[in-house]
Chain A
Amino acid sequence: MSGLLKIIIQRLFLGLITLLVVSVIIFTAVNLLPGDFAQAILGQGATEEAVAAIREQLGLDQHPVQRYFQWLAGALQGDLGTPMSQALFKSFAGTNTGESDVTVLSQIGPRFANTMFLAAVTAAIAVPLSIFLGILTALYRNSAFDRAMNVFTLSSISSPEFFLAYILILFLAVLNPIFPSLSNIFEGMAFGDRLEKTMLPALTLTLVVTAHMMRMTRAAIINLLASPYIEMARLKGLSPMRVIVKHALPNALAPIINVVALNLAYLITGVVIVEVVFVYPGIGQLFVDSVKIRDIPVVQACCLIFAAAYILLNLTADILSIISNPRLRHPK
């Protein structure tokens, strides 16, 4: 097990370096966009003096390299800064308004919790569904059922998310009012209501991620079905279902876990469009709003969360596939 621990520490360290690189890239990219926060927020009122005043107030007139290191120094101490919009708002008021200070973390926190909730609901539907369908399609491969499932899941993964979202709204909210088309969940909502409101975005995301996981399950199992030990199991007279679930599936777990982890990461980072369509108050919407007004501290924090989700889930996937594979667990 000490070998495994070493791998985890190594990967976490590499992950930190990746995050650092990501933060540099994002910072540069946002700075390359035309216009800055001062111009975006002022709109028509962006006279030279007004822009200069806001830049000075928020320190935007400093050199980008200097600004990056200031941000980094704060971030290393766990302070991701104040959203520029909040900093500007305070200056509008002249005096402090007595409100507790809004920081990037306090702004992102509840939004991130909402996104995690949506991801969890989607995963709870999509993962069992796609593994179940994967097993069934492997079992009845090349049958009409197999083909139908493949066509269905592949066409849903090939359609843009907003299109799927509108199709679902049309069929499940407009023509048959089963679920609400508006997912405006809020704090203090009963769990049942929250679940009902989250259903349509969760189903949309399910359609998007199912194909990948289902086809990987199917492929991994079919791949194993040609191996001698499966032939042995068949010769013993076991039922096809038992052969697949008891004998093939455990050995196919590693690739399946990998693809599930990748798709979970996608559920956290790729929900931007779905959140906008369903007005779901998650981190994706906040991210879009912040990019629009070039609110760099919030954009940075969102990107770091997205990157960290990818890194951690990938790490989890690798560790789980090591654990699920005795040959990797006990390397010679």
Chain B
Amino acid sequence: MTQISRRSLLKTGAAAGVLAATGMPLRAQAKKGGRLRLGLAGANTSDSWDGRTHSDSFMIMAAHGCVFDCLTEVGADGQLKGELAESWEASADAKTWTFKLRQGVTFHNGKAFGADDVIASLGMHTEEGAKSAAKPIVSSISEMKKINDHEIELTLAAGNADFPFLLSDYHILMFPAGQIEEAIAKGIGTGMYEVVSFDPGVRFVGKRVASHYKDGSAGWFDEVEAIAINDSSARMNALMTGQVDAVNRVDVKTEALLKANPAVNIFEVTGNQHYTFPMLTGTDPYSNISVRKALKHAINREELVEKILQGHGKVANDHPIGPANQYYAADLEQNSYDPDKAKFYLKEAGMDSLSVDLSAANAAFSGAIDAAQLYQASAKAAGININVVQEPDDGYWSNVWLKKPWCACYWSGRATEDWMFSTAYESGVPWNDTNWENARFQELLLTARAELDSSKRRDMYTEMQMLMSSEGGTVIPMYANYVDAHSTKLTNSGTIGNVFQMDSSRMMERWWFA
């Protein structure tokens, strides 16, 4: 028998099985070194390190996924784990949360991380005049109490079982207390990479810190560079010619050319991003539940996924909870294209035929006008006459959405069910684009929010998805995938996060050079 050296053991595939059986993570094969170069869309000259202002992919990747940390993190497998928080506990009513913070963590300027930094960083979002997108999350905290340097107690105004989940939001980054202004100017966080240079809207370069609490589980590159390439052909070109190692937002029109290149891999995940056709249910004829049901059965979802997303998506079921959500109900009865059923519901509403206006512009989502026209064609078979009204892109969100009785719309989705529902479907919230009133739905929303028992929550959220799917005021035909591409020189653990594009924007931490 030939002797197997430790090195060759690690190299062979059989070894992987052995090691997996011993409980040693496969990630042990990850290799250190190299400089990762990313070509990213979504950069602006007004970019800064202020997490409160982040909304586009470039800064989310550079700050949330690289230079800064949050208290919690959604792993590639979708499970919540601690980032700067080590563990947490809730009181029975989900109102009081105690977080134990990681010890021995330092900011890039040498300052030790502790409870004061958490209080100051959370306080940034509720500061007088601040317009943080995470303000609703932070303002739900009624009291912040420091127990000791590494323990903090947060009391909420009302119970919220998702609270630790919400703290993984990319806006809620941890800054050094007392040095927040400096940290925003220079980019001083606790992340695996410290800022070497940053030119807003142009380029970011980061260097691996010498030692980090995630050592051994993430952070394989010596250096990372993100280059702003907003033009999509230029971005694809940069990957094809090897100027960058990965790009986000693959242009599906030129996807075939990328596929033909053996040195390039396309990777995609279905997340929570979805396209919708909301109806104002206070307006006729959409106030009639049978009309809504008829419209839901008059759209050919498979055709839309095929023609509008070129196959890069998944059929949705008229509720906004996606595969990246914890309690996504995948096995609900699917609303499908069925002209006879649509006709039946029209009869139920006391109509032989129906004529409605559908307002659309490509500002709603790329291909919205084509989607509306496909809808028009498929609805004809059910005796529904959809008149597609082409609206101008400019001012679409101010003049059409929430104003016209039926229009096209887009949602990036939210990390938790409660967050999604309370953003757009809770009665009375400003972005409620259907004004759908359902007593049972509203009741469940409030009960589920404070419920800590996971299986009870699953039941409640499943019922809410069912209610929306059958009676709700919006037609949600499809989830749009996050489609990105990388050079075959790069590799990863095999599980790719689906919260956001580019492995939940954690590519710089989680990937390595093969």
Interface residues of chain A, those whose CB is within 8 Å of chain B, are 33-35, 39-40, 42-49, 51, 83, 85-86, 88-89, 91-99, 107, 166, 169, 173-174, 177, 180-182, 184, 186-188, 276-279, 281, 286, 289
Q: Out of B46, B238, B244, B397, name the residue touching A46 (CB < 8 Å).
A: B397
Interface residues of chain B, those whose CB is within 8 Å of chain A, are 39, 44-46, 48, 50, 52-53, 124, 127-132, 181-182, 184-185, 197, 199, 201-203, 227-231, 233-234, 237-238, 240-244, 392, 394-395, 397-398, 401-402, 409-410, 430-431
Establish whether residues A89 and B240, one from each chain, have CB atoms under 8 Å apart when the complex forms.
no
Establish whether residues B228 and A279, one from each chain, have CB atoms under 8 Å apart when the complex forms.
yes
Chain B residues, CB < 8 A from A184 = 202-203, 227
Look across to chain A and name the residue whose beta carbon is closest to the beta carbon of B235: A279
| Total of A-B residue pairs, C-beta within 8 Å | 132
In the A-B complex, the 6 residue pairs with the smallest Cβ-Cβ separation, listed nearest first, are A98-B181, A85-B46, A35-B394, A94-B130, A34-B394, A94-B127
Separation of A49 and B398 alpha carbons in the complex (Å): 10
Q: How far is the CB of A122 from chain B (nearest CB, A)?
A: 19
Establish whether residues B129 and A94, one from each chain, have CB atoms under 8 Å apart when the complex forms.
yes
Chain B residues, CB < 8 A from A180 = 241, 243
Q: Out of A42, A98, A279, name the residue touching B397 (CB < 8 Å).
A: A42
**Given A45-B397, A181-B238, A187-B199 contact (CB < 8 Å):** yes
Establish whether residues B202 and A281, one from each chain, have CB atoms under 8 Å apart when the complex forms.
yes
Establish whether residues B395 and A89, one from each chain, have CB atoms under 8 Å apart when the complex forms.
no
Establish whether residues A99 and B185, one from each chain, have CB atoms under 8 Å apart when the complex forms.
yes
Establish whether residues A186 and B394, one from each chain, have CB atoms under 8 Å apart when the complex forms.
no
Chain A residues, CB < 8 A from B202 = 184, 186, 281
Establish whether residues B52 and A85, one from each chain, have CB atoms under 8 Å apart when the complex forms.
no
Establish whether residues B46 and A98, one from each chain, have CB atoms under 8 Å apart when the complex forms.
no
Separation of A92 and B410 alpha carbons in the complex (Å): 24
**Given A43-B397, A169-B237, A95-B127 contact (CB < 8 Å):** yes
**Given A99-B184, A169-B237, A289-B44, A39-B243 contact (CB < 8 Å):** no
Q: How far is the CB of A76 from chain B (nearest CB, A)?
A: 26
Separation of A173 and B410 alpha carbons in the complex (Å): 38
Establish whether residues B229 and A47, one from each chain, have CB atoms under 8 Å apart when the complex forms.
no
Q: Out of B131, B228, B392, name the residue touching A91 (CB < 8 Å).
A: B131
Look across to chain B and name the residue whose beta carbon is closest to the beta carbon of A42: B397
Chain A residues, CB < 8 A from B398 = 35, 39, 42, 46-48, 51
Look across to chain A and name the residue whose beta carbon is closest to the beta carbon of B179: A98
**Given A97-B181, A181-B243, A276-B231, A92-B131 contact (CB < 8 Å):** yes
Q: How far is the CB of B231 from chain A (nearest CB, A)?
A: 5
21 contacts between A and B (CB under 8 A): A34-B392, A42-B397, A47-B402, A85-B46, A89-B50, A91-B131, A93-B50, A93-B52, A95-B127, A96-B181, A98-B182, A98-B184, A99-B185, A173-B237, A174-B241, A181-B241, A184-B203, A277-B233, A279-B229, A279-B231, A281-B199
Separation of A281 and B243 alpha carbons in the complex (Å): 16
Establish whether residues B243 and A86, one from each chain, have CB atoms under 8 Å apart when the complex forms.
no
Establish whether residues A86 and B50, one from each chain, have CB atoms under 8 Å apart when the complex forms.
no
Look across to chain A and name the residue whose beta carbon is closest to the beta carbon of B430: A47
Beyond A34-B395, A46-B398, A83-B45, 19 additional contacts (C-beta under 8 Å) are A33-B394, A34-B394, A40-B394, A46-B395, A47-B431, A49-B430, A85-B46, A86-B46, A91-B129, A92-B130, A93-B130, A95-B127, A95-B128, A174-B241, A182-B229, A182-B238, A184-B203, A188-B197, A277-B234
**Given A43-B397, A85-B46, A279-B131 contact (CB < 8 Å):** no
Separation of A181 and B229 alpha carbons in the complex (Å): 12
Q: How far is the CB of B202 from chain A (nearest CB, A)?
A: 5
Chain B residues, CB < 8 A from A95 = 127-129
Separation of A110 and B12 alpha carbons in the complex (Å): 52
Q: How far is the CB of A238 from chain B (nearest CB, A)?
A: 51
**Given A34-B392, A89-B50, A277-B231 contact (CB < 8 Å):** yes
Q: How far is the CB of B186 from chain A (nearest CB, A)?
A: 10
Chain A residues, CB < 8 A from B127 = 94-95
Chain A residues, CB < 8 A from B392 = 34
Q: Out of B52, B240, B242, B401, name the residue touching A92 (CB < 8 Å).
A: B52
Chain A residues, CB < 8 A from B234 = 181-182, 276-279
Separation of A23 and B359 alpha carbons in the complex (Å): 37
Q: How far is the CB of A55 from chain B (nearest CB, A)?
A: 11
Chain B residues, CB < 8 A from A188 = 197
Q: How far is the CB of B55 from chain A (nearest CB, A)?
A: 9
Chain A residues, CB < 8 A from B238 = 181-182, 279
Chain A residues, CB < 8 A from B50 = 89, 92-93, 97
Look across to chain A and name the residue whose beta carbon is closest to the beta carbon of B229: A279
**Given A47-B430, A92-B53, A107-B397 contact (CB < 8 Å):** no
Q: How far is the CB of B201 from chain A (nearest CB, A)?
A: 7
Look across to chain B and name the residue whose beta carbon is closest to the beta carbon of A174: B241
Look across to chain A and name the residue whose beta carbon is closest to the beta carbon of B131: A92
Separation of A278 and B237 alpha carbons in the complex (Å): 9
Look across to chain B and name the residue whose beta carbon is closest to the beta carbon of A184: B227
Separation of A142 and B300 alpha carbons in the complex (Å): 64
Q: How far is the CB of A286 from chain B (nearest CB, A)?
A: 6
Establish whether residues B184 and A94, one from each chain, have CB atoms under 8 Å apart when the complex forms.
no
Chain B residues, CB < 8 A from A276 = 231, 234
Chain A residues, CB < 8 A from B39 = 182
Chain A residues, CB < 8 A from B185 = 97-99
Establish whether residues B397 and A44, one from each chain, have CB atoms under 8 Å apart when the complex forms.
yes
Chain B residues, CB < 8 A from A88 = 46
Separation of A95 and B395 alpha carbons in the complex (Å): 30
Q: How far is the CB of B421 from chain A (nearest CB, A)?
A: 17
Separation of A98 and B179 alpha carbons in the complex (Å): 10
Chain B residues, CB < 8 A from A89 = 46, 48, 50, 53
Q: Out of B53, B240, B430, name the residue touching A174 (CB < 8 Å).
A: B240
Separation of A34 and B185 alpha carbons in the complex (Å): 34
Separation of A85 and B47 alpha carbons in the complex (Å): 9
Separation of A266 and B229 alpha carbons in the complex (Å): 24
Separation of A277 and B132 alpha carbons in the complex (Å): 34
Separation of A34 and B395 alpha carbons in the complex (Å): 7
Establish whether residues A39 and B397, one from each chain, have CB atoms under 8 Å apart when the complex forms.
yes
Q: Out of B131, B199, B240, B397, name the residue touching A186 (CB < 8 Å).
A: B199
Look across to chain A and name the residue whose beta carbon is closest to the beta carbon of B201: A289
Q: How far is the CB of B192 from chain A (nearest CB, A)?
A: 23
Chain B residues, CB < 8 A from A93 = 50, 52-53, 130, 184
Chain B residues, CB < 8 A from A289 = 44-45, 201, 230
Q: How far is the CB of B387 from chain A (nearest CB, A)?
A: 23
Chain A residues, CB < 8 A from B229 = 182, 279
Chain A residues, CB < 8 A from B409 = 44
Chain A residues, CB < 8 A from B203 = 184, 186
**Given A34-B392, A97-B184, A276-B231, A181-B46 contact (CB < 8 Å):** no
Chain A residues, CB < 8 A from B410 = 44
Chain A residues, CB < 8 A from B430 = 47, 49
Chain B residues, CB < 8 A from A97 = 48, 50, 181, 184-185
**Given A92-B130, A97-B184, A173-B241 contact (CB < 8 Å):** yes
Separation of A182 and B202 alpha carbons in the complex (Å): 12
